[in-house]
Amino acid sequence: MSLKKDNSHHTLLPLSLGIALNTGIFVAEVVGGLLSGSLALLSDALHNLTDIFSLFTAFFALRLALRARTPGKTYGYRRAEILAAFVNTLLLFGVAAYLVREAAERFFHPSPLRLQMALLVAAVGLLGNFGSAVLLFSSSRESLSIRSAFVHLVADTLSSCTVVLGIGMAGYLGWTWLDTLVGLGVAVFVLREAFPLFWRTIHILMQGTPPHVQPEALKKRLEAIAGVENVHHLHLWSLNEREHYAEFHVVTTCGTLQEVDVLRREIAAILREEFDIHHSTIQFECQLCGSGDLIVQE
């Protein structure tokens, strides 16, 4: 137990540094964007705000993972990261909508730009995003929530490269409209990230079937086991992206409780090793209840 706690606290350190670094970048880019009039820089700042939220999500997910389950929270707090991811997608949609509105307004009503200041702040933001990704590199191999934050930071590093390049070209060529175009491009990039995450979180919150499990294939595999006559009333869902659950009824030909227990352990091993389902509730029966459909139609 102490080893797990030590590893978790060790992982919290780079997350804390990443949060502090990205908060500084966000403040610098907001101030720089407002003073220079650069939409590209302001868009990168707002996108960086989602990084901070993503890092906070990973941070608190680790903190909550150390908390034990309670009678009031029998599943613990593992779904907190899914709820945070859902809120994060709503924030991404809001950021994208704001950037599109600003881009449209600036296309019709261009404002003067202080490109040298914008370029300097954008370069600082690029270095900050790169540094945050480096901080999380080793920890990203230990946790999916940290890995998602790491991937987000890598994507933002590439986005910052685009912002620096766009502002630099706008200053060199005199095409100030290029700054607005880059800001619009960042909005499209944000939406491209947001939609898959949104549908994934909705699917989990609606207790959808884990994407890697096909109910008919699971039924066929279990009914091939000696002692299993029929599998029906199947329910499959996920607590988060890593923990998958199943409950179903099994009509068995076993004649004793000892045989049923051996069968239960065999089914649990197949669910764990072949379908990545580590939590299952099985109701054994001697004959079909109801219609025996795989999915109950109520």
Among 146, 179, 205, residue at a domain's last position: 205
Residue 166 reports pLDDT greater than 50: yes
Does residue 291 belong to any structural domain of this protein? no
For residue 101, the model assigns a pLDDT of: 78
pLDDT of residue 186: 73
Which of 148, 183, 205 is the last residue in one of the domains? 205
3-state secondary structure of 256: coil
Which residues are within 8 A (CB) of 296 and not within 5 positions of it... i.e. 6 or more apart? 233, 290
What percentage of the chain exceeds 70 in pLDDT?
82
Q: 113-157 pLDDT, tens per residue?
A: 666 777 777 788 788 878 888 887 776 665 555 666 676 677 677
Question: Two tokens at 229?
Answer: 């006559």
Q: Domain span at residue 274?
A: 215-285
Listed range (99-113, 183-197, 198-212, 261-275) with the worst mean pLDDT? 99-113
Q: Are residues 140 and 183 in the same domain?
A: yes
Hey, which residues does 234 pair with through a beta bridge?
A: none
The rounded mean pLDDT for the chain is 79
Q: How many CB atoms lie within 10 A of CB 53?
A: 18
pLDDT at 3 over 50: no
Is residue 250 domain-shared with residue 120, that is, in the same domain? no
Closest C-alpha among 74, 89, 76 to residue 202: 89
Sign of the dihedral defined by the CA atoms of residues 15, 17, 22, 24, in that order: positive
Residues in the chain: 298
Q: Does residue 293 fall inside a structural domain?
A: no
Predicted model pTM:
0.72
Same domain for 174 and 258, yes or no, is no
The strand pair at 228-238 and 279-285 is best described as unpaired
User: Would you place residue 296 in the very low, low, confident or very high pLDDT band (cuts 50, 70, 90)?
Assistant: low
